[in-house]
Amino acid sequence: MAFRYCRTIRFHETDAAGVVYFANVLTLCHEAYEAALGEAFIDVADFFSTSNPLPIPIVHAEASYFKPLRCGDKIAITLAPLRLTPYSYEVRYTLTYQQSGQQSRPETHLLTQSLSAAQSQNERPLATALTRHVCIDKTTRQKQIIDPRLDDWLNEPAAIAAPDD
């Protein structure tokens, strides 16, 4: 399900070139992923801890950068998960400015919303990213079927893909 996470860029995320350090864009995306899991009633402290017997680590990540982000910028990260196999999924992220004319959306009021075609055309992204995740047994590191408690989050038809939204 598509999910929107809003954030203000902070000073520690910038570097001496005056803009957000490239790897921190992936960190921002992971924050949005954590927020999305939280909204889906996943306990993130357990989910990401060493005591989780079936962790779902990232096996691949990538990001493309279109415009620099500066300290104080108010950005929105829209993400949608996509199940790849019984063992794996991908999350795709789009970073935009929070739209002018809209109330800044608070971090903890995380809107789960469909994105109209109009909206996605109007907002040219600042960056895009994806993370690919595979569920493994913590001890053997063999592939495992993803915990069904994630099914709702993974299987719900992503509003973002609805043709006539």
Catalytic residue, chosen from 15, 137, 151, 165, is 15
Q: What are the b/e assignments for 123-153, b being 16+ CB within 10 Å? A: bebbbbbbbbbbbbeeeeeeebebeeebeeb
Q: Between 68 and 154, name the residue whose CB sits nearer to a copy of itself.
A: 68
- Cα distances from 106 to residues 16, 23, 53, 103, 120, in angstroms, run 28, 24, 33, 9, 20
Interface ranges with a copy of itself (CB under 8 A): 6-8, 10-12, 14-19, 21-24, 26-27, 30-31, 34-35, 38, 43-45, 48-50, 52, 55, 57-66, 68, 70-74, 104-109, 131
Q: Measured from the CB of residue 117, what is the shortest distance to a copy of itself in angstroms?
A: 26
Q: Measured from the CB of residue 107, what is the shortest distance to a copy of itself in angstroms?
A: 4
Annotated catalytic residue 15: yes
CA 132 to CA 136: how far, in whole Å? 13
Q: Which residues are catalytic?
A: 15
